[in-house]
Structure 1
Amino acid sequence: MAAVLLLFIVATVAGGLLGGGTEIGLFLGSAATLTPFVFLAAAAYLSLIHPALKYPAYLILLAVVLGLAVLSFALGVVTILPPEFLLTGNPDPAAVDERVTSQAAIEIFLLFCACTGALALSFTPLLRAVRIRLASRLDFSPYNRVHTIALVTVFALTLIPLVPVAVTGVPPYLSETFTGIIDADTTFFEGAVSVDIYTLFWTIVASFVIVGLFTTRKLPESLERLGLTRPGARELLLAVGFGLALVGLFSLLDLAIGSVWEALGWPLTDTEAFERFLVPYLTPVGILVASISAGFGEEISIRGILQPRFGIILPAMLFAALHAFQYNWDGIISVFIAGLVFGVIRSRYSTTVCAITHTTYDFVLFLALLLGFSVI
């Protein structure tokens, strides 16, 4: 365990020092987003052996949740502020219409209140009564510190990322300001394909640590806990078939959701803006990398780690929330339903079958985009 923790520390620090200018820098830097969760899991497991370590574990938990809240707040502020306020390099509010800045101030205040509320709700699983009530429906122990810390983390990752789009009505990554920042920086997407495959590597390593490899489980037990199996020919064909079927199913579902949203006058996801994020992947290699990294990375980390403890619905909610920076509510609901479907496949077969299904689904969508069809 000490060697793994040291590996993540060295990778994060070295990646930060080298920057994204080299492949080794990109590879090492890709560990950074997983490092806090690896340390959190390690501290939680070790606190079962050495009770005094529960205090560092809870401090790391607090740092992780606060960091997520700060990130969501910052992205929300970028969404709210007028583009000219950030893109001109002039932070003087007088440079923008007074009515606009007044409205922005109100929205930023609401954003702060919502982030604070989501932050507080994230810690409610620390209350024994809340854990006991949830444990009556889910397969976790309300008295196990590892499960408690995991539940707080799941609540935070589910609630906090939803705040910016809930307050502003616009996903941060599709806001006018954010897209303006991308347009102003021609190097923004450099290395995106490499980062995806490197992040998949670190995600797999982190997932094994998070389920207790090197602490409470050996490798065969960790593989079983994650639901990773060697698929036979029948399972492989089923997974590919499921993926192809889901393309048709969700094409119809997205049309239905879009029709309802338009009828109600609610804002839809700006597909044109979103597809700009996919441009770096629209090559044969990029499509393959993006599909595998999303299919296996998301399924191992969500359905593999979380579903055995927290059921199908809660991980599907987290899965949807993690897409809230790039989708509006129509897309978030569609992703949630997809998460439910993937969860059923995981429970009936394995995480491996689920990951191949997800990979096939993404591959077909990316391929359609490459061929000029708008399917997102």
Structure 2
Amino acid sequence: MELIIGIFYLALLVFLAPTSRTKDEQSPWFHVMIIGLPVLMIFLGTNVLLAAVAPSQLNYNITRVEAMAYAIFAVIFAGIAWYVIHKRSLRGWLSRFLFRGGSYDPDRPIHTVAVVVALFMIVYTGASYILLGGLDGIAEALAESQPGLVDIGSVALRFVVAAFIGVGIFLYRDINTTLDRLGLSQPTLKQIMVGLGVGFVAFGLMVIASIVWTMLSSPESISSVNDTSTQLIAAYGDTLLMAFLFAFLSGFSEELLFRGAVQPVFGLVPTSVLFALMHVQYWFTPAILIIFLVGMLFGWLRRRYSTTAAITAHVLYNFLPFILINVLNTTV
């Protein structure tokens, strides 16, 4: 139900936005819909506060300090979203400085929608992180629920549908122009080879950074991330086929949304930051810097070649840990 509501909400925003080029021409429904997002951010902050202070059968493992910190975080982001909606000067600043590497237009309502939705997703992801109890809670949730392909498929579907709706399929783009806008094309041999090469480089970067982090950090700080990664591998690594399906679904959907739909508007660096922040299991750890750098590599592929090349790299990057573990288990 949450998936359907989210897709429907985004579709309405995109449908209403293109018809409102100036403030005088804006549909009142569009204004109500987009204002609803910062309101929902405040609602999320309030819910987390209530979860910390009010008795609940769900037994959320969060302190009042953590809940208050998140509530302040949610209010700040809601305020930023509010000003993005109402202040053309702020949108102009975003265009000149933050999104200068993309095609962001401060006068296009659909681009305002993109910024506000991105802010909302950061707040929403933060709520998941806090309510689950941080890294330890995420690892426990994965161990208890044992997610399967249906779960990752639903997340992938959300990203794919958001990407297609976000670029205006069947609204002001047909199939061919939509695929072109998303950077999807029939891959050439060169694109495949470069994508595979970048996938290996990204994986190598992750391994090197993990080794350095292990040498410099305490065992306790590493344990939580390792537990989460272990549970992910346990959930999807029963067979190499399931592991590949997980790698493909997550890699394809994430690249389609972030590199295909978002990056041409926001630019390389802001998109890579957003991509890293969506990986909630790495918040407050050095691992999020690794995800940012990996996102930069995938973004370079999108800019230099195509989203298809970035998908190739991302799928390989996701699949390599499963291959490595399978080989080690076979040889031991």
TM-score range, shorter chain: 0.7 to 0.9
Which residue of structure 2 lines up, in the alignment, with residue 55 of structure 1?
28
Shift of 1:179: 5.1
* Equivalent residues of 1:228, 1:352 under 8 A apart: yes
Shift of 1:333: 1.5
Shift of 1:171: 7.7
Deviations along 1:61-89, whole A, 9 cap, x unmatched? 333444456557757887x79xxx87xx5
User: Given residue 107 of structure 2, which amino acid in structure 1 is its aligned partner?
Assistant: Y
Residue 243 and residue 158 in structure 1: after superposition, are their counterparts in 2 closer, same or farther (change >3 A)?
same
Residue 343 and residue 77 in structure 1: after superposition, are their counterparts in 2 closer, same or farther (change >3 A)?
farther
Shift of 1:160: 6.0
* Equivalent residues of 1:132, 1:142 under 8 A apart: yes
CA distance in 2, matches of 1:140, 1:366: 38
Which residue of structure 2 lines up, in the alignment, with residue 42 of structure 1?
15
Of residues 114, 118, 142, the one that matches 2:106 is 142
Which residue of structure 1 lines up, in the alignment, with residue 296 of structure 2?
340
* Equivalent residues of 2:187, 2:309 under 8 A apart: yes
Deviates more, 1:153-162 or 1:317-326: 153-162
Of residues 84, 90, 95, the one that matches 1:130 is 90
Equivalences for residues 192-203 of structure 1 within 5 A: 192-203=148-159
Which residue of structure 1 lines up, in the alignment, with residue 136 of structure 2?
175
User: Given residue 253 of structure 1, which amino acid in structure 2 is its aligned partner?
Assistant: A
Of residues 104, 110, 120, the one that matches 2:69 is 110
User: Given residue 244 of structure 2, which amino acid in structure 1 is its aligned partner?
Assistant: L
The SS at the match of 1:306 is helix
Give yes or no for the alignment of 1:316 onto 2:272: yes
Aligned-CA RMSD value: 3.6
The SS at the match of 1:123 is helix
The SS at the match of 1:223 is helix
* Equivalent residues of 1:174, 1:274 under 8 A apart: no
User: Given residue 208 of structure 1, which amino acid in structure 2 is its aligned partner?
Assistant: F
Residue 363 and residue 60 in structure 1: after superposition, are their counterparts in 2 closer, same or farther (change >3 A)?
same
Residue 37 and residue 325 in structure 1: after superposition, are their counterparts in 2 closer, same or farther (change >3 A)?
farther
* Equivalent residues of 2:275, 2:295 under 8 A apart: yes
User: Given residue 116 of structure 1, which amino acid in structure 2 is its aligned partner?
Assistant: V
TM-score (norm 2): 0.81
Of residues 231, 235, 240, the one that matches 1:276 is 231
Number of aligned residue pairs: give it.
321
CA distance in 2, matches of 1:90, 1:133: 43
Shift of 1:162: 4.9
Which residue of structure 2 lines up, in the alignment, with residue 236 of structure 1?
192
CA distance in 2, matches of 1:266, 1:260: 12
Q: Could you list the runs of 5+ residues in structure 2 that have no partner in the other structure? A: none
CA distance in 1, matches of 2:159, 2:175: 16
Which residue of structure 2 lines up, in the alignment, with residue 189 of structure 1?
146
* Equivalent residues of 1:204, 1:297 under 8 A apart: yes
Residue 42 and residue 369 in structure 1: after superposition, are their counterparts in 2 closer, same or farther (change >3 A)?
farther
Equivalences for residues 1-376 of structure 1 within 5 A: 16=1, 31=4, 33-48=6-21, 54-67=27-40, 70-71=43-44, 89=57, 104-126=63-85, 127-136=87-96, 137=100, 138-158=102-122, 161-162=125-126, 172=133, 174-176=135-137, 188-189=145-146, 192-262=148-218, 267-268=221-222, 269-282=224-237, 283-325=239-281, 327-371=283-327
Q: Could you list the runs of 5+ residues in structure 1 that have no partner in the other structure? A: 1-15, 17-28, 92-100
Deviates more, 1:139-148 or 1:121-130: 121-130
Residue 227 and residue 73 in structure 1: after superposition, are their counterparts in 2 closer, same or farther (change >3 A)?
farther
Shift of 1:350: 0.5
Shift of 1:133: 1.6
Shift of 1:233: 1.7
User: Given residue 54 of structure 1, which amino acid in structure 2 is its aligned partner?
Assistant: S
The SS at the match of 1:214 is coil
Overall identity of the aligned pairs, in %: 20
CA distance in 2, matches of 1:173, 1:272: 12
The SS at the match of 2:171 is coil
Deviates more, 1:105-114 or 1:244-253: 105-114
The structure whose RCO (Cα within 8 Å, separation 6+) is larger is 2
User: Given residue 88 of structure 2, which amino acid in structure 1 is its aligned partner?
Assistant: R
Deviations along 1:278-332, whole A, 9 cap, x unmatched? 3221122321111111111001101111111110011111101111245442121
* Equivalent residues of 1:46, 1:215 under 8 A apart: no
CA distance in 1, matches of 2:67, 2:154: 35
Deviates more, 1:119-128 or 1:31-40: 31-40
CA distance in 2, matches of 1:368, 1:72: 41
* Equivalent residues of 1:212, 1:222 under 8 A apart: yes
Shift of 1:163: 7.4
CA distance in 2, matches of 1:372, 1:120: 50
